[in-house]
Copies of this chain bind each other. A is one copy, B any other.
């Protein structure tokens, strides 16, 4: 697929920078049943959109965590991007603030489920040596 190879390479590098191992696992999980969807995540999601600049990666992750917490239908993806937010420079305290703010716009259950996801992510990061 030569026409997309540049988008793919750019996207793959950004995916690894932002979501790290959690993102790579998502891509791997799609290979058997829907490899093209994995490719679109990389090419469009990361190669086109995250690569646009203007916003910092930290600002982009704040937007993503806010959106996924508010939607409430994407708990696995929220966990990937809680890792992502922490990977690109959000402190734990900043992530908590985004989640709490969602209580105002999407209701308390959305914020509570966001905090539960963060608790799981923080525990995973201790296990994989990304947090003390």
Contact = CB atoms under 8 A, between A and B. Distances in A.
Interface of A: 3-4, 6-7, 26, 29-30, 32-34, 36-37, 40-41, 44-45, 48-50, 52, 54-55, 59-60, 62-74, 76-77, 93-94, 96-113, 115-116, 118-119, 122
19 contacts: A3-B4, A26-B112, A37-B115, A41-B108, A52-B97, A59-B62, A60-B101, A63-B63, A63-B65, A64-B101, A67-B105, A71-B107, A72-B73, A74-B110, A76-B112, A77-B109, A77-B112, A106-B106, A107-B107
Contact of A103 (B33, B49, B101, B115): B49
A71 B74 contact: no
Nearest to A3: B3
Contacts of A103: 37, 40, 49, 107
A107 B77 CA distance: 11
Copies of this polypeptide in the complex: 6
Contact of A48 (B40, B67, B69, B113): B40
A86 to B, nearest CB: 13
A104 B44 contact: yes
A36 to B, nearest CB: 7
A69 B63 CA distance: 10
A107 B59 CA distance: 19
